[in-house]
Chains A and B, each alone.
Chain A
Amino acid sequence: MNAIHVAAVCFFGLGVAVVVLTAIASLRVGRPEDRLHFLTPTTSLGTPLIGLGLVLANGWSLTSAQIVLTCALLAITGPVIASAAARVAAMREGEISQRSPE
């Protein structure tokens, strides 16, 4: 077990901890907007940490490229679906217009 493997496991464990803790924390809030705030660290922090750990474990290879692709997809699409869900919540509560922004 070398230093890179230890670092990989540490990054992976940190990412898993972020995902698990934010999932549990999102149970404790009531409003959808607050829940969306807890969804953000999962995609913006937990996903890159898990991806970094897996890439360090695999080294430079096609496997790492596919892991980076998958994590990048999650990190890019996470804020998009979070903002879309927040917009739906605001529309259902009558806070914003139902027309698309121009």
Chain B
Amino acid sequence: MNAWLVGDLALVGIALPVAVWIGARGNAVDRLIGLELSGVVATLALLAFSQAVAQPSYLIVPSVAAVLSFAGSLVFTRLLAPRP
């Protein structure tokens, strides 16, 4: 087990469950913040995993996830805004 994998496990084992917990309870805005935090943490965990297993080709996954989580969060902010 290398240092990259230890960091990856910390992200997946601690930060990601906390983000999912925030995203699973509370009001709609709290859940939106949990979704945003989950997206960032998951992307960073995928970056660390690519380094841990020494497979640079896996880096396409966090690159796409960074773009898609941004777009998804913006869609949810649009949907959660109260209608005039």
Contacts and interface: CB of A to CB of B under 8 A. Distances in A.
B47 A77 contact: no
Interface in B1-53: 3-4, 7, 10-11, 14-15, 18-19, 21-22, 27-30, 32-33, 36-37, 40-41, 43-44, 47-48, 51
Contact of B33 (A39, A43, A70, A77): A39
B82 A77 contact: no
Chain A contact-residue range equals 35 or more
16 contacts: A12-B48, A20-B15, A27-B21, A67-B47, A70-B62, A81-B36, A81-B70, A81-B77, A84-B73, A84-B74, A87-B77, A88-B81, A92-B82, A98-B81, A98-B83, A99-B84
Interface of B is mostly: helix
B77 A84 contact: yes
Contact of B70 (A39, A67, A73, A99): A73
A7 interface: no
Contacts of B22: 26-27, 35
Given A27-B18, A78-B40, A13 B3 contact: yes
Interface of A is mostly: helix
Contacts of A85: 29, 32-33, 36, 73, 77
B63 A73 contact: yes
Interface string A39-69: 1001100110011001001100011001101
Contacts of A35: 22, 30, 33
